[in-house]
Every structure is written in C-alpha cells, then in structure tokens.
Amino acid sequence: MQSPPLTLSTLASMEDYDPNSMPVEQARLLIKKFLSPVTDSETIKVEKSLNRTLAANLFSPMNVPPHDYSSMDGYAVRSADLGNSSVTLKQIGTSFAGNGFKGTVASGECVRIMTGATLPVGSDSVVMQEQVKVDGDKIKFSLPCKIGQNIRLTGEDIQKGAVVLAQGQRISSAEMGLLASLGFAEISVFRKLKIAIFSTGDELVQPGKALAGGQIYDSNRFTLIGLLTELGAEILDMGNIRDDKEAVRTALQKASSQADVIITSGGVSVGDADYIKELLDELGEVVFWKLAMKPGRPLAYGKVGHCHFFGLPGNPVAVMVTFLQFVRNALWELMGQHPKPVFSFQAICTTPIKKAAGRTEFQRGILTQEDDGVWRVQTTGEQGSGILSSMSRANCFIVLPMEQGNLEQGSVVQIQLF
Ligand code: AMP
Ligand code: MG
C-alpha cells in the first residue's frame, strides 16, 4: 500500500525531522516528495530541442540501418566461393553508397563495393580491398571468408517499432542526431519550467556601475542565470530586491503568480535584515532551514502557493553548492526528467584537509591525472564560502561525509566532477 503524500505540516511531526540541522541526504529525499513534474507539452523542431524533455515514448518508424550495407571499401562476395587456397573471382560491377549494384552476384563473381553501399543480391560478405590483388576485372582472394563479415545488417542498431527514446529523456546532442537519423523533424516535449530569480541585499550593486563604500557587486544572479540557462529553463529575472520586508513580500507575490519556481539568494540567515523566512511563514510554508553542510548551511525550501521556493544562501560559493547539490536535481524532476545519480569516484588527496565532524562538506578540488595514470586531487586552498574564484579554478567537489574529521595528506577522498 502506498503511504499518503507528505504535507508540509505533517513534516514537523516526523521523529527525525530537525529543521536546525538537516542532513544532506534527508533534505534531498524530502524535497523529492514535494515535486510533481509539469504535464503540458508542445511540439518543437528537433534543432531547437537541446536540453528539452521528451513528453512521450518515441517509437522508431524504421529499421536502422534500413538495408544491409558494407562497412568497408572492398569486394562483395559469396563466402562459399572463398577457401584456404587462393581463388580468383570476376568483378561484374560496382556498388556505390546511394547507388547500389542492380544485378545479382553468381558463384565465381564479385562486385566492387564502397562503405555504406547496399549489399548486392547474391553476395553475403565483404572482403577488405587491402586483402585482394587486382588484375583488371580479375580479383584474387587468398584468405577464407566468414559469412556476414564487414556487413551491417538491417535493423542491427534499431528495429522498426522499438522504443528509441523514453518519456522523460533529456535531449542532448546525441539524441538530436538520433532523432534526425530516424527522420523526425519535430518532437513533443514538456513545456519549459519558468523560474523567477532575484537577489536580496542593500549592499548589492549591478555590474557596470561604480561601487560606493561597503557595496559589492551582485554576482549570484549571474551565476544562477548561467546554471539555469544550462538546464534549459525560462528565466524571469527580477533583479536585486532591497532588504525591505515590503519589497521582498511584493517580489515573492509577483514571482509566485508568474513562475513555477522561485530561486532567491541571501537573506536566509538570522540577521536583522533577513526577512525571507518570516515572509515564507506568512505567504506560504518553509520545509527546512539549516542544513548540516558547508558551504550552504542556511537553505530554505518551501512553497508559495503552487510555486516551489528555494532560498539559497548569500555567499557566492554556497549558492553554487546548494544549487548543484539540491536545486538542479529538483528542477530536472519538475521538468519531467529522471535525474541520474551523481557521477562520483575516489581519488588520492595530495593536500591535508581541515574538516569538522557533524556536517557534510563540499570542498573545491583540482583533479589531475599524473604520468602514472593515477587521479590525484588537491584542494583549491582557503575554503571560505565567499571565495568564488575557487569555483572557477576547481573542476570537482571533494565530498567529505558527516562523520569525517581532519584528513592527512594522501587520504582517499570522494570526488564529484563538475
Ligand atoms: P546574507 O545571507 O544575505 O547575509 O549574505 C551572506 C553574504 O553573501 C554577505 O556577505 C553578502 O554580502 C553576500 N551576498 C549576498 N548576496 C550576494 C550576491 N547576490 N552577490 C554576491 N554576494 C552576495
Ligand atoms: Mg543579505
């Protein structure tokens, strides 16, 4: 029997639910319970389909390859004609790709054939041109031939009627080519997710303007625009909102009336100007607040009406870490995709690591393969969650589990590639 769906209000009564120190894994599972994918779909051209999500199973309208063809430049033969001693066959024609030989190959005969050309009637195998001696139309073969060699058979790759791509498949360049190879010009995909973003903070200035004392540039919104563009979402960019309760309230209300998801940065700590939690309690609901992780301790997930809300921390590195560890998978799920498990493996760490037990840490690492073939990783150095250049220099996270304390140089660590 299925358990009843979780609601935000029943969460608080769960035994191991601690909104002040939520383990990373638990937070991932909890978010997942609230997500239901979009269902509306639209038909679009294949060349515009990158990063979109297939709305229905797609059946192959044809066999691939559609005919038996040669995978080599050589000679189409009847394999029974060839044996251990050398044999001379008469060349009776040529089969080109797109312009196959029309006749029939009889015993004692062969046809010159190019890669991609259909196999002439009567022949069953292809001998590479490097393995024969040519004297006018007399072709000398000196090796035995395995029936079917150097031939690609009809339907060998995809059979007519088979499911080629399943509903929920994310379209990458490989799928775009595959769709075209099957003759599809258009496909049905789920509609794009509409995502409203805004930064909060009185200290923030937009790039291109001059900074006054105490001000910094708003970088989080640009990081988010990049991350969301990569996912193929439609972005509703609401700019920067002042640390003013009414301004944040108005922004949240506007965003929730227009978008599927709201993503904000900053204002989720417990400072005097951090209004997000208060407003969410009022306008919607908050699921959790403080995570047992670094960077990214304050992270809010909740709902404002039908709209999913992710309140990311203000610190620039924490924005990227929380997005990549929680938000991205949730968005894929909402887009109707089936997120794959994170690709992760072990490497030897060449630097000692400072780590406090009791929280999962995502330190930034630089992974390299040495001449001995072994993958080694070093940290990017100082791991402050404001040091955004560390994300640019790094190519992976070094993921350090909850219980882990300090690590010595040479320890084996878990790596997540960017
Ligand atoms: P907060 O969570 O609002 O207290 O912000 C934490 C830190 O992140 C503060 O040092 C902020 O100045 C900084 N910060 C907040 N928002 C941004 C942003 N959009 N771009 C760059 N830094 C930010
Ligand atoms: Mg702030």
pLDDT in tens, 273-318: 688 888 998 999 888 778 999 998 888 899 999 999 999 999 999 9
Q: Whose CA is nearest to atom 10 of ligand 1?
A: 315
Q: What is residue 18's predicted lDDT score, i.e. its pLDDT?
A: 72
The whole-number average pLDDT for the span 20-43 is 91
CA of 243 to the centre of ligand 2 (A): 7
CA of 119 to the centre of ligand 1 (A): 67
Does 256 score more than 70 pLDDT?
yes
The whole-number average pLDDT for the span 82-104 is 95
Closest CA to 76 of 101, 102, 103, 113: 113
Does 55 score more than 50 pLDDT?
yes
Q: What is residue 1's predicted lDDT score, i.e. its pLDDT?
A: 46
pTM (predicted TM-score): 0.86
Q: What is residue 16's predicted lDDT score, i.e. its pLDDT?
A: 66
**In the chain, pLDDT over 90 holds for what percent of residues?**
81
Q: What is residue 346's predicted lDDT score, i.e. its pLDDT?
A: 96
Q: How confident is the model over 371-411, as pLDDT tens digits?
A: 999 999 999 998 888 889 999 999 999 999 999 999 999 99
CA of 315 to the centre of ligand 1 (A): 5
Residue whose CB lies within 8 A of the most ligand 1 atoms, among 204, 223, 269, for a mutation test: 204
Residue whose CB lies within 8 A of the most ligand 1 atoms, among 220, 227, 297, 387, for a mutation test: 220
CA of 368 to the centre of ligand 1 (A): 32
Q: What is residue 9's predicted lDDT score, i.e. its pLDDT?
A: 64
- 296: tokens are 């990214």
Q: Whose CA is nearest to atom 14 of ligand 1?
A: 314
For the CA of 243, the nearest atom of ligand 1 = 3
Does 14 score more than 80 pLDDT?
no
The whole-number average pLDDT for the span 162-190 is 96
CA of 9 to the centre of ligand 1 (A): 30
Instruction: Name every protein residue with a CB atom under 6 angstroms from any ligand 1 atom.
Output: 199, 201, 203-204, 216, 218-221, 265-269, 271, 313-316
User: Taking all residues of the chain, what is their mean pLDDT, rounded to a whole number?
Assistant: 93
Does 210 score more than 50 pLDDT?
yes
Ligand nearest to C-alpha 242: 2
Q: Whose CA is nearest to atom 15 of ligand 1?
A: 314
**In the chain, pLDDT over 70 holds for what percent of residues?**
95
CA of 8 to the centre of ligand 1 (A): 28
Ligand nearest to C-alpha 385: 1
For the CA of 221, the nearest atom of ligand 1 = 19
CA of 407 to the centre of ligand 1 (A): 30
Q: What is residue 117's predicted lDDT score, i.e. its pLDDT?
A: 97
Specify the higher pLDDT residue, 45 or 384: 45
For the CA of 315, the nearest atom of ligand 1 = 8
Strand order in the sheet with 87-95: 125-128, 74-77, 109-113, 87-95, 138-141, 132-135
Q: Whose CA is nearest to atom 5 of ligand 1?
A: 314
Does 319 score more than 50 pLDDT?
yes
Specify the range with the lowest mean pLDDT, choosing from 68-82, 99-113, 374-388: 374-388
Q: How confident is the model at residue 12 (pLDDT cuts 50, 70, 90)?
A: low
Does 10 score more than 90 pLDDT?
no
CA of 24 to the centre of ligand 1 (A): 22
The whole-number average pLDDT for the span 255-265 is 97
